[in-house]
Structure 1
């Protein structure tokens, strides 16, 4: 079996790299690269894993993933159903702050902008009130060529820097420069197995076996590298998926959502849901409905 890379190469024949995606689903494996990426989700829903943090994502949202930050845009399960006509659309700007851009950012006039870029080690989500403006600027960067593209990109960074206090942090740990390639592949294998099987009865022994460890050794390893216990990480994934399903409105009841996300009792689901979100599922739904209205 071919082992997937944890660090994926991004072509760098340009200072600013643009990637447009129209696909059945996002790349389904945890990975990292030395470039930071600013991604505008044009169409698609799912869960974003950034480091060891998880967030639901939806259309018309903008995220920055830091250089070398392990991440994964996990499309919802219905995107993988055979014959599904669902698609994702995204526009991403890749840039390496320590590469060709560094000499530009080292200019005295770029001092504040350079400091802002260096501070973005945790990733962020842009506030929704800025989405229209930022998406227009990302589109402009994608359309431009040569010096005009670099100028448009600097203006985009300036807009983000001006709104820095309103940016929503994605992860609490710094980006993963300290994670070796071999460790990254092992962690990626564990994450991907859990993300694929979260909605089934998932035993510690099964997950430990994917990492070729005893359950005891796996628990120590997982806690050291993620800051989570296996159970807390699994519960976070399940509750993130539950929140997504509850807000999408495609399920008949809360209990249906609970069982579809891997919980074996509604009582346990309610308890875990409140411990993760701070609210019961019914209060969460009422709050969401009020926001939508």
Structure 2
């Protein structure tokens, strides 16, 4: 097999490169080698890879790190999807791409070990693959320092991985000189082309214009092994492939791999694999055949992505036909779930995400997080970004500015799983998890009434968000049930913030409006109320009692601890993830009436109201 030494060119503004490729559907007949380290993520095909002296058949997702001048190639024999093109994400870099000073730091000990071991090639498995894949997908969408930061995160994931395995044998040493590497690759080339026949030492030595004795010393010094050992591993590697394919019996396999003596073949096969050819074939053939013949979609992966992303090169009429076909297998692509939240400035959403991520990680899923920052435009962009990143589905809470839900209903049309939590809307009829906001609003108001309040202010939002409307409805009904009038002058509308709480109290005081209790629709607004009351030297809770909603972390630690309604945030996240995992396993995510789970709220009475 001929070895091609690549001279990779980097753009002047980049110290490393990342690219996504669609790999050609043809056997690889050359070894590649270059001075750069390479991280490669391969998907949607099976075949054989050659890395150093390591030859292995594989299928499914592969994550591999290669060191400098390590000969390698991928040979595509079969595909998981017979009609789809294989795809890869490739990262090329030098270890000192950020300077030698970083590598000399004590924090880089594990990283240096990783780079050292990469000389023999490293494969990763388990949870490392989805973690690395998530970062690599983010890198494709990033630029500048953001991409560099992600690169460091990717390297740290690989360095800290507990599922890495060396590929080349312990005695394989990669040459550190491109010229000598070319010599070795000539030997590789000859052996790969002739291993089924007798390989003569004098002939191989003559390829490099050496005497047999000089060649043996050279080859052993540069590769750490003898020519005989290398030929043996190439032959046995090919034999494992033939035995798994089951096209030849064991005697025929031994002959096709260059063995004229069956007992010698049997002995060498067991030395390298730990099993006799008969036992090896019995143990692995059935599994190999089942995975190779598993039914797959007839739509190429590249076409699926274009359909999902509304690529203009696919006609609208064709896209509509393909979309239903494409959507049915979206759930098995990545094991990554997109989470779209309005903000991470509130501990509520942080805690929910924590609960979601804990459950998903235990089930071998990773998350890709996106903030809309309460913006409709950002929310639409977030949905598009997550879909382009290949997530299996989206878990979302709706932004305050959102009143048009086409981007969510479109996900349903594509049969892409969507689950809403906390802020849900009837217009988007999908599975959901929320708290009983009406009961929470009722309980907060009832608590103030039972503490003796008769003129209770409610701070709500001027935006069309159902959960806040439900809290307002609970407030109104509690007043009515306790025979207290609903005074519209005591209801204020605005955006959740400290300033909104400040302004409302200032308005009440300046207009001499009587009040003895305040129910804020969320805790930050409630904190603004407490601060303004303190400025006016109004005693809490003696003169005015205050309660918020959400149980933000700061509430228990301010000077006057804020009473609140707890939303069971971590539990909500766990329930969200459990429901999503249950539904995503079903063949048709939207077939049944959307399931809605409603969690109870918990009243937490603190100093501000009692």
TM-score, scaled to structure 2: 0.41
Partner of 2:140: 142
Partner of 1:82: none
1:191 corresponds to 2:188: yes
SS of aligned partner of 1:200: coil
Contact 1:48–1:72 (Cα < 8 Å) also in 2: yes
SS of aligned partner of 1:12: coil
Partner of 2:72: 72
Contact 1:31–1:188 (Cα < 8 Å) also in 2: no
Partner of 1:257: 253
1:237 corresponds to 2:234: yes
- CA displacement at 1:186 relative to structure 2: 0.9
Contact 1:124–1:167 (Cα < 8 Å) also in 2: yes
C-alpha distance 86-273 of structure 1, shift in aligned 2 (>3 A): farther
Give structure 2 stretches of 5+ with no counterpart: 291-610
C-alpha distance 174-114 of structure 1, shift in aligned 2 (>3 A): farther
Contact 2:25–2:86 (Cα < 8 Å) also in 1: yes
Contact 1:25–1:87 (Cα < 8 Å) also in 2: no
SS of aligned partner of 1:246: helix
Partner of 2:202: 205
1:158 corresponds to 2:156: yes
- CA displacement at 1:11 relative to structure 2: 1.6
Partner of 1:34: 35
The superposition leaves residues 43-80 of structure 1 with CA deviations (integer Å, 9 ceiling, x where unpaired) of 24113222x444444441111011x242212526x69x
Partner of 1:17: 17
Partner of 1:180: 177
Aligned length: 279
Once residues 70 and 183 of structure 2 are traced to their aligned partners in structure 1, the CA distance between those partners, rounded to angstroms, is 13
C-alpha distance 258-86 of structure 1, shift in aligned 2 (>3 A): farther
Partner of 1:268: 264
Of residues 104-113 and 191-200 in structure 1, the stretch that sits farther from structure 2 once superposed is 104-113
SS of aligned partner of 2:73: strand
* Structure possessing the higher relative contact order (Cα contacts under 8 Å, 6 or more residues apart): 1
SS of aligned partner of 2:217: helix
Once residues 191 and 214 of structure 1 are traced to their aligned partners in structure 2, the CA distance between those partners, rounded to angstroms, is 18
C-alpha distance 255-269 of structure 1, shift in aligned 2 (>3 A): same
Once residues 60 and 211 of structure 2 are traced to their aligned partners in structure 1, the CA distance between those partners, rounded to angstroms, is 41
Contact 1:204–1:215 (Cα < 8 Å) also in 2: yes
- CA displacement at 1:241 relative to structure 2: 1.4
SS of aligned partner of 2:234: helix
1:280 corresponds to 2:276: yes
Once residues 170 and 185 of structure 1 are traced to their aligned partners in structure 2, the CA distance between those partners, rounded to angstroms, is 21
SS of aligned partner of 2:33: coil
Once residues 219 and 116 of structure 1 are traced to their aligned partners in structure 2, the CA distance between those partners, rounded to angstroms, is 31
Once residues 269 and 109 of structure 1 are traced to their aligned partners in structure 2, the CA distance between those partners, rounded to angstroms, is 49
TM-score, scaled to structure 1: 0.79
- CA displacement at 1:130 relative to structure 2: 3.2
- Report matched runs for 1:32-181 at 5 Å: 32-42=33-43, 43-50=45-52, 52-66=53-67, 68-75=68-75, 88-99=86-97, 101-102=98-99, 105=102, 111=108, 114-122=111-119, 123-163=121-161, 165-171=162-168, 172=170, 176=174, 179-181=176-178
Based on CA coordinates, which of the two structures has the bigger radius of gyration? 2
Contact 2:4–2:30 (Cα < 8 Å) also in 1: no
C-alpha distance 117-216 of structure 1, shift in aligned 2 (>3 A): closer
